[in-house]
Structure 1
Amino acid sequence: MNGESTSTRGAVAPAAGPQGTGRGGRRRPTSPDGMIGIVAKILLLGFVDAIAAFALFQLAINDEWLVLVISLIVTIGINWIYLRRGGLPAKYLAPGILFLLLFQVFAMVFSTYIAFTNYGDGHNSSKEDAIRSIQLSALERVPDSPQYAATVLDDGGELALLVTDPDGNVSVGSSEEPLEPVESAQLDSTGKAVGLDGYTTLAFGDILARQGDVSDLVVPLSDNLDDGTLQTQDGSTAYVFKPRLVYDAAADTFTDVNTGTTYTDSGEGNFQAEDGSTLGVGWKINVGFDNFVRAFTDQNLRGPLLSVILWTFAFAGISVAATFALGLFLAIAFNRADLKGKRVYRILMILPYAFPAFLSGLVWSGLMNAEFGFINNAILGGAYIPWLTDPILSKISVLIVNIWLGYPYMFLVCTGALQSLPEDVEEAARIDGAGAWTIFRVIKLPLLLVSLAPLLISSFAFNFNNFNVIYMLTGGGPRFDDTNLDIGATDILITMVYKVAFGGTGRDYGLASALAIIIFIVVGVISAISFRKTKALEEIN
């Protein structure tokens, strides 16, 4: 039988390898995509290409040629990656790299660019747009203006004005196109133009529904706004308006026709008179390092900024130290093997971690309300304690809430770190007569810090920019008295940046971007020094 088996084995041809392989185990080339995968690829790429084509068309219309070229290259690259055979790693990496470049690198580069400009309220467009905006804002009705019979038209959602002047001449124009004479308008029995081919005439009810748009409709008489414009309030009669400020393109000046005051380009992104007064609308220019210098030299900003910087470091440092201490204490307390019900206790300990920080901030804001809050009325018997309006108590309140929100995270990571410590080292120390405090201080804590140091550093960086707790609990208040900016005692740098950028007193995106760069540099330097000092990353395996 053995001989039969041997002879049979010798006569049998080599068996085929696994499915998809040839003799000798070599893999035969197979198509990586099935029919479903090919169809899905075509549909997804078609959808992406359709969006890209629309975006490229809009960029071309707006003369954004640099962005158009970049978008075109990216679109071609995406199609090349997913249509060619092979290159499987690139197909997985491409989406992540694209979103990284778009939402991280581009955002950082753009913020850096804005930090070196005066971009903000009154300085958010080009000089040409600013000139036009000044002319439009200075329009005044011409006394004894001729009366034009008007009809409001709709051109694909955009309003236009069909007017008949006192001499019976008919013209049509819109906000973008000045008046042009027309010959084929539809006239009523009085000779008023009431319709035009290619446009939709708005009925009285439609005019009432879009009264705001009709009132805002400004139709230039010519390409030069100084020649005047037509405006209507009721949609049936239009009058001539001319700007109070006349622009001289050759001299690059505005002149007030009522007072004779001349406004010239100040070189700071606005038009300024000799008495220092400026026109309200300016334009965006590069200002170099002025925003960074202003942050530390402006008398209205320097004092509050220094106070905010000190409080930011204190808030982040105290929060990390307190949450780590409390979390480690609870982790040690509930890590005893003989503790009954420790699973239930651990679940209770991490409950604050399950609530969104912004909701917790709102809840604690209600609990700490000085007049109606549960803490004052129910726990303290109706005492009036200004938890959120006193400069010192508000800081204490913010720290309490942040510790309450942050200790569950430290409890979790400390529990995991404690359970990973070798038990034989602790047993050897006990045999040598070391007490519990000595074991913790000499053995456990150093071993814990080796693994937890990177987490503590990241926690410091997180609390350095902990926007939710501050903004939802106190809104950064109470407000400082020595500044007209909306900056308060509990503001940290990130909430201050938000208020500078989006505050109600004026939006200064350039200064806000400069402050954001300062935050980035500070956090980066502190993190680099901390990692270098602890050498935690080299120690972790």
Structure 2
Amino acid sequence: MTVDAPPSPPATVDAPPRESHARRWRGPGWGFVVKLVLMALVNAFGVMTLLSAFRAESWVVFCGMLVLLLAADIVYFTRRALPLKYLVPGLVFLLVFQVFIFGYTAYIAFTNYGTGHAGTQGQAVEAALIQGERRVEDSPTYPLSVLQRGDQLGFAIVGDDGDVLAGTADEPLDEVRGAEIGQAGTPSEVPGWTVIPKATVITDADLQAQIAALRVPVSDDPNDGSIRTRDGSTGAVYESTLVWDADAQTITDTTTGTVYTADDSGSFVAADGSTLPAGWYVNVGFANFVRIFTDPALAGTLLSVTVWTFVFATLSVLLPFALGLVLALIYNDARIKGRRFLRTLYILPYAFPAFMSALLFRGMFNAEFGIINDLFFFGAHINWLGDPWLARAAVIWVNLWLTYPYYFLVCTGALQALPKDTLEAASIDGAGRARQLRSIILPLVLVATAPLLISSFAFSFNNFTVIYMFNNGGPSIPGAPYALGATDILISAIYDISGVSGGAADYGLASALSILVFAVVGGISAIAFRQTRKLEEFQ
């Protein structure tokens, strides 16, 4: 009888040593550190923008920036919003540089914002009172020092009781504790400010102009006057001959007794119809849009500009496209020798900066010494830039020279991409070159280039560079407002109306015109894109 041996204990498997917590946690990677630094910069910029918007009481910017900042922090500090991490930067740029700008332009279009109406009512009151300032007859002369804090200038004076008072154009005079008075009797040290030495004030002409224009209010009431200085070492109180009554919303001229009352159009108007130069911007509804079509002087000029804009945009597409297509057809023929070299010569205008080309042509078309008259018209005195029709023909020619290389390249690429078997089949069927060009080549080329032609029309519709650099929209239209010219297109007319080139600015009217231009170009482009679908039947 055999006795079974007791079962042996199961073999033990050594468990892997447990890794300590200190060794297992490796800490954040470099990606997290970079993200943290970038988001810190974004938040710093966002907080700075919020503070600036809060001080300026721009609540739309404040709320928009707050929403964007919170959205960015939520997206980049959570793990669930992975797709948004890639979409947020593009969405932010779209909102800031497209949607916001268009929305702000639309907002300005419904206001009277422009020269004489560029600020709030409070700023208009302050400007009016400044324009009527006179020195108070019994005002004492105060020892004065010029202060600087960053880019901001201010005044510090020694008051009647020996205290030092300091203020800026935005901050009325207030007592400064801890200030010291120098041997000259003027403030020598003002906490929080840098006292500009007298020698600097005397030798710096730009600084002298800023100091002479600086007015520091005596108190919060603008009727109490302001401290001004002529030499940078003494100051006096200046009061305006105009008195502002906030309750009655009137400004009274104490010298003549004329009372100017605030009206709904953002102006101070007297009973005789006269107005003060300083006004403020208000919402005027559709007044700017109505003015475009009803103001006799403006509507007639804008109609002429609009017709010329359509003619210019259409010819700026058709003529260069036709020339580029003809050249592409010629140099796509394998029988022509040196095609690469000749193609390079033809695209040289495309490589030259457009604004420089326009300036050069401006000199070439000069009636006195331009080489156009000397070489091609035997020295005849042809006033290309002074005659409206000649100027229009000249600018069309300049734009043709600048843009045909683009269409030459596009059409060359489209021709080289044509299916050769289709052309060979047409040739076998007896179709000649003219029939192939009319029935096969042109339809297929248009299919490839039609979207580019539409975008080129929109570009030509707003081609500000050629118009402005060639002859600045001239020659002038007699009796036209805002110095509009015969070759001005709508975009250059908007530039003139906005006052950037000098003269009175009417941003509200310019914005309203911009909205109309956007609607016209957008509508034409939408219709054209729909029509181009019919060309797909040739494919």
TM-score (normalised: structure 2): 0.88
Question: Conserved in 1, the CA contact under 8 Å of 2:354 and 2:466?
Answer: yes
Q: Which residue is equivalent to 2:504? A: 506
SS of 1:403's equivalent in the other structure is: helix
Q: Which position in structure 2 is the counterpart of 1:527?
A: 525
2:257 corresponds to which letter in structure 1? Answer: G
> Which residue matches 2:133?
139
Q: 2:64 pairs with 47, 67, 70, which one? A: 70
- Judging changes above 3 Å, is the alpha-carbon distance between structure 1 residues 451 and 255 closer, same or farther for their aligned structure 2 residues? same
Describe how 1:179-218 pairs up with structure 2 within 5 A: 179-180=173-174, 186-187=180-181, 192-198=185-191, 199-208=193-202, 209=204, 210-218=207-215
Q: Are 1:516 and 2:485 matched, yes or no?
A: no
The alpha carbon displacement at 1:215 in A equals 1.5
Give, as a single letter, the amino acid of the residue that structure 1 aligns with 2:52: Q
* Alpha-carbon distance between aligned partners in 1 of 2:155 and 2:236, rounded to the nearest angstrom: 12
Residue type of the alignment partner of 2:527: I
- Residue 416 of structure 2 corresponds to residue 422 of structure 1: no
Checking the alignment, whether the CA contact within 8 Å between 1:332 and 1:415 is kept in structure 2 is: yes
Further displaced range: 152-161 or 490-499? 152-161
1:40 paired residue number:
34
Answer whether contact 1:477 1:487 (CA < 8 A) is retained.
yes
Matched residue SS, 1:340:
coil
* Contact map agreement 1:244 1:258 (CA 8 A) in 2: yes
Q: Are 2:467 and 1:470 equivalent residues in the alignment? A: yes
Say which of 310, 315, 334 aligns to 1:318.
315
Residues 450-495 of structure 1 deviation map (CA, whole Å, 9 limit, x = unaligned): 2222221111111111111111111100010122421101000011
Supply the distance in 1 between the matched residues of 2:190 and 2:473 (Cα, whole angstroms).
Answer: 59
Equivalence for 1:492: 489
**Match of residue 300 from structure 1:** 297
SS at match of 2:238: strand
Out of 250, 255, 258, the residue aligned to residue 253 of structure 1 is 250
What is the alpha-carbon distance in structure 1 between the residues aligned to residue 37 and residue 79 of structure 2?
18
1:364 to 347, 361, 364: 361
Counterpart residue identity of residue 467, structure 2 = I
SS in 1 for 2:482: coil
Matched with 1:22 is none
Shift of residue 236, structure 1, vs aligned partner: 2.5
2:52 is the counterpart of 1:58: yes
1:517 corresponds to which letter in structure 2? I
- 1:232-286 deviations in whole A, cap 9, x for unaligned? 1112222221111111112110111111111111210110112221111111111
Residue of structure 1 aligned with 2:75, choices 81, 84, 90: 81
Alignment partners' CA distance in 2, 1:320 and 1:173: 63
- What is the rounded CA distance, in whole Å, between the counterparts of 1:34 and 1:346 in structure 2? 57
Note if contact 1:327-1:407 (Cα within 8 Å) is conserved in structure 2: yes
CA offset digits 1:305-362 (Å, max 9, x no partner): 0110000010111121111111111111111122221111211221111122212211
How far residue 537 of structure 1 moved from its aligned partner, in angstroms, is: 8.5
Q: 1:466 to 1:540 in 2, by over 3 A?
A: farther
When the two chains are superposed, the root-mean-square deviation of aligned CA atoms in Å is 2.5
Moved more, 153-162 or 473-482: 153-162
Give the aligned partner of residue 20 of structure 1. none
Tell me the equivalent position of 2:119: 125
Q: Which residue of 1 aligns with 2:90?
A: 96
What does 1:227-246 align with in structure 2 at a 5 Å threshold? 227-246=224-243
Question: Is the 2:145–2:186 Cα contact (8 Å) retained in structure 1?
Answer: yes
- Tell me if structure 2 keeps the 8 A contact 1:497–1:512: yes
SS of the residue corresponding to residue 535 of structure 1 reads helix
Stretch of structure 1 that moved more, 333-342 or 55-64: 55-64
Residue 242 of structure 2 is aligned to residue 225 of structure 1: no
Match of 1:455 in 2: 452
Decide whether the 8 Å contact of 2:111 with 2:281 is kept in 1.
Answer: yes
Aligned-pair CA distance for 1:217: 2.6
**Distance verdict in 2 for CA 1:418–1:51, change over 3 Å:** same
Q: Name stretches of at least 5 consecutive residues in structure 2 with no aligned partner.
A: 1-24
In the superposition, relative to structure 1, how do residues 537 and 438 fare at CA in structure 2: closer, same or farther (>3 Å)? Answer: closer
Cα deviation for residue 180 of structure 1 reads: 3.8
Separation in structure 2 between the aligned mates of residue 537 and residue 78 of structure 1, nearest angstrom = 45
Q: Is the 8 A contact 1:450 1:536 kept in 2?
A: no
Q: Cα distance 1:442–1:540, how it changes in 2: closer, same or farther (>3 A)?
A: closer
CA distance in 2 between partners of 1:138 and 1:378 (Å):
61
Gaps of 5+ in 1: 1-30
Q: Deviations over 1:508-540 (max 9, x none)?
A: 111111111111111111112222223258669
Deviation at 1:182, TM superposition (A): 6.2
AA aligned to 1:173 is A
Q: Which residue identity does 2:460 align to in structure 1? A: N
Deviations 1:167-211 (A, max 9, x none): 554451323333345676545678x45335414433221222332
Change (3 A) 1:172 1:417: same
Task: Check the 8 A contact 1:126/1:283 in 2, yes or no.
Answer: yes
The structural deviation recorded for 1:156 is 5.3
Residue 142 of structure 1: CA displacement? 2.3
Separation in 2, partners of 1:34, 1:340:
65
Whether the aligned pair in 2 keeps the contact of 1:169 and 1:181 (CA below 8 Å) is no
**Which is worse superposed, 137-146 or 61-70?**
61-70
Maintained 8 Å contact 1:486/1:503 = no
Q: Is the 8 A contact 2:176 2:190 kept in 1?
A: no
Change (3 A) 1:76 1:394: same
Partner of 1:3: none
- 2:60 and 2:440 map into 1 onto residues whose CA distance is 60
**By how many angstroms is 1:55 displaced?**
2.2
SS in 2 for 1:149: strand
1: CA distance between counterparts of 2:440 and 2:178? Answer: 95
8 Å CA contact 1:160, 1:172 repeated in 2 = no
The aligned residue for residue 3 of structure 2 is none
* SS of match in other structure, 2:483: coil
CA contact (8 A) 1:171 1:179 kept: no
Q: Structure 2 vs 1, CA of residues 80 and 539 (structure 1 numbering), >3 Å: closer, same or farther? A: farther
Q: Classify 1:412/1:101 alpha carbon distance in 2 versus 1 (closer, same or farther; 3 Å).
A: same
Q: SS state of the match for residue 155, structure 2?
A: strand
- Matched to 1:72, the amino acid is L
Q: Give me the TM-score of the superposition, normalised by structure 1.
A: 0.87
Equivalent position of 1:382 in the other structure? 379
Q: Which residue of 1 aligns with 2:156?
A: 162
Q: Tell me: CA distance 1:520–1:177, structure 2 relative to 1, closer, same or farther (3 Å).
A: closer
Aligned pair in 2 of structure 1 residues 152, 38: CA closer, same or farther (>3 Å)? closer
In 2, the alpha carbon distance for the partners of 1:355 and 1:481 equals 35
Aligned to 2:323, the other structure's residue is in SS state helix
Counterpart amino acid of 2:515? I
